[in-house]
Amino acid sequence: MSLVLFCPITINTKEMKVLKFGGTSVGSAARMKDVAKLICDGEQKIVVLSAMSGTTNSLIEISDYLYKSNISGGLEKINALEEKYVDVIDELFTTPEFKSEAHFLIKTLFEYLRSFSKSVFTLFEEKAILAQGELLSTTIFQLYLNELGEKSALLPALEFMRIDKNAEPDTNFIAENLAKQLSEQQGNTIYITQGFICRNIYGEIDNLQRGGSDYSASLIGAAVKAQEIQIWTDIDGMHNNDPRFVEGTQPVPVLHFEEAAELAYFGAKILHPTCILPAKLNNIPVRLLNTMDPTAHGTLISTQSKKGKIEAVAAKDGITAIKIKSGRMLLAHGFLRKVFEIFESYQTPIDMVTTSEVGVSVSIDNSKRLEEIVNDLKKFGTVTVDKEMVIICVVGDMPFENVGFQAKVVSALSEIPVRMISYGGSNYNISFLIKSEDKKRALNALSAALFN
Ligand code: ASP
Ligand code: MG
């Protein structure tokens, strides 16, 4: 009788941190050296890397050429990308042995890329090509750690990261297979793995969508029940407003999971919105840190929030508002269901909802099926559409017993026409729908009233 299925891990992952570095943090040889300095402190950790900045976009361009059977265009792009990597390697490695090993590794990988120019090109090939960015960055970086004499190992994400038939992560599979990979590689200090890439239910190479490396880090943190998940970028945490439109924004030191989720979804580009849920479900704190200023506090996202404090403002562009007004809604039941079903049938998610006794307004950010939706809605009443709108989302600890917060927020917007207002879906957010042209004014008015 066999007693053990696979060797249980002796690594205590509960004391481990998962650190994710984005594309710009590993965007050059110099930046990779900085990351190595940051992580080589003797503590055992898992490090998730994105592709070097620009690489995923280049791989998409290469795929576009190959889709269109423009082989010479595709090959030209592949060669240009390879040259970039040759330069990175020449700058990164010092010893001839490591240099030549690195050159050999990337040569193999680029040969593989070139082989796609000879095959039929489908979504399947495209996804395999997109995966090469993270495979490149992690291979090079781990070899560099070898050169530094650091005890490290590569954990192949394609062996443990998996999505199910609904493209949702298969968390049991991930936990089991990641544990297996870790146990096979015991005795190392730093475990490097690829963000973004995974396999799907058919075992094919797939990915967690653009920007998905944050999600990888969070899923990995959840799978190993890590002590903390750190997302390293090049700004000092989530800011209390959008620095592109408002001067003097400040990083927010502490955010509740719910606050961070709203901010990430409604506009803060620093963190992918999907990243919050796995961490929240497993109560693992997420820290946003800055590679350019590693000792800065950044933002700590956890179950803690600052009681009664309004923390931040974010904006989401490209919103369409749809109002359905009907005398028949009065005292009727089932009206909202019928309205929502129409959006569902066109696979169009709704962001905001506001109701009155005679009508309902909803907002959507995907207006691909707008015409069909509006046509179907017309059978319930008069339909009005407002395009080029923006959701302004105010985030903070705002339970309803806490009087006055809404008055403060609303009065900050006293000069701005507001199309919809929504509060009560959570204690952590109030949202406003306004015209795009008023966005900058609204963001500045809110910062002035709430944070100065
Ligand atoms: N490299 C992927 C992208 O550019 C994933 C990521 O960076 O998070 O979207
Ligand atoms: Mg990112």
Could you tell me the distance, in angstroms and rounded to a whole number, from the CA of residue 212 to the centre of ligand 2? Answer: 7
Ligand 2 centroid distance, CA of 74 (Å): 26
Q: What is d(CA 10, CA 183) in angstroms, rounded to the nearest whole number?
A: 7
- In this prediction the pTM is 0.92
Ligand 1, residue 196: give the atom nearest the CA: 5
Ligand 1 environment, Cβ below 6 A: 22-23, 50-51, 56, 133, 195-196, 210-213
Each of the 452 residues of the chain gets a pLDDT tens digit; together they read 444 444 445 578 878 999 999 999 999 999 999 999 999 999 999 999 999 999 999 999 999 999 999 999 999 999 999 999 999 999 999 999 999 999 999 999 999 999 999 878 999 999 999 999 999 999 999 999 999 999 999 999 999 999 999 999 999 999 999 999 999 999 999 999 999 999 999 999 999 999 999 999 999 999 999 999 999 999 899 999 999 999 999 999 999 999 999 999 987 778 898 999 999 999 999 999 999 999 999 999 999 999 999 999 999 999 999 999 987 666 678 888 999 999 999 999 999 999 988 889 999 999 999 999 999 999 989 999 999 999 999 999 999 999 999 999 999 999 999 999 999 999 999 999 999 999 999 999 999 999 98
Question: Which residue's CA is minimally distant from atom 5 of ligand 1?
Answer: 211
- Nearest ligand 1 atom to the CA of 211 is 8
Q: In angstroms, what is the span from residue 218 Cα to ligand 1's centroid? A: 14
What domains lie within the chain, and their CATH numbers?
A: 17-234 (3.40.1160.10), 310-450 (3.30.2130.10)
* Cα–Cα distance measured from residue 69 to residue 63, given in angstroms and rounded to the nearest whole number: 10
- Please state, as a whole number, how many other Cβ atoms lie within 10 Å of the Cβ of residue 326: 18
Nearest atom (ligand 1) to Cα of 23 = 7
d(CA 124, CA 31): 32
Locate the ligand 1 atom nearest the alpha carbon of residue 51 and give its number. 1
* Shortest-distance ligand to the CA of residue 53: 1
Q: Do the Cβ atoms of 261 and 427 come closer than 8 Å?
A: no
